[in-house]
Amino acid sequence: MSCVQLDGSHTRCRQKGESAGYQARKKAVTTNSIFLCDNKGQMIAMGSPKAGNHNDLYEMEEVLKEILAFLEEAGIEYKGLFLNADAGFDSKSLRDFLESKEIIANIKPNPRNGEQPDVYFDEELYKNRFKIEQANGWLYGYKGLIMRYEYLDVTWIGMLLLGFISKFLKKV
């Protein structure tokens, strides 16, 4: 594995529980999860859910520490990986964190950030990022994952992991 894709996904919440907050853009209470997938669109890790009233970069270093700990526990080497992410993840602190973990950030520069420093960005490699969009779409093909009915985070994470496993078994 040489390249991974990172993206966040907001899920509407039926009842307000742990890690649920009002997202004005969606006009609903949502929860936000950060996912990591490989080049084949297979989900390989996720961070703990955050309240939907926060953007994807909220507590990103802690979320990435969780994801990297999960990869280490699974025996997946992450040093030297290319990480694709959209412009919503363009921040100096995230780039510095990834560099400290020896992960090569391929994050699309966000024009809203103003003057862009000279950072690495490979447009051809970035085309692989579409795989995580497909994976999120496929995951939300399950009725139980379109809307969050679970009150507890641990139950919601379990539902998402069941979706990951189901998708993996269909590919095998």
Write the DSSP string, 59-101: THHHHHHHHHHHHHHTT---TT-EEEE-GGG--HHHHHHHHHT
* Structure letter (DSSP) for residue 118: -
What CATH number does the domain located at 3-171 have? Answer: 3.30.420.10
pLDDT greater than 80 at residue 10 = yes
How many other β-carbons are positioned within 10 Å of the β-carbon of residue 170? 8
Q: Cα separation of 52 and 58, whole Å?
A: 10
Q: Which helix (H) or strand (E) holds 12?
A: strand 3-13
Percent of the chain surpassing pLDDT 70: 99
At residue 41, what is the residue type? G
Answer whether 34's CB lies under 8 Å from 41's CB: no
- Low-confidence winner among 11-15, 40-44, 142-146, 149-153 (lowest mean pLDDT): 142-146
So what's the pLDDT on residue 37? 94
Helix axes 130-139, 153-171, angle to 10 degrees: 110
* Structure letter (DSSP) for residue 103: -
So what's the pLDDT on residue 142? 80
Torsion region of 75: left, alpha or beta (phi above 0 gives left; psi -120 to 50 gives alpha): left
**Residues contacting residue 145 through CB under 8 Å, at least 6 positions apart:** 11, 139, 159, 160, 163
Q: Which helix (H) or strand (E) holds 25?
A: none
So what's the pLDDT on residue 119? 80
Q: Cα separation of 159 and 55, whole Å?
A: 22
Tens-digit pLDDT profile for residues 146-172? 888 888 989 989 999 999 998 889 877
Tens-digit pLDDT profile for residues 74-127? 999 999 999 999 988 988 899 999 999 999 999 988 878 777 667 888 889 989
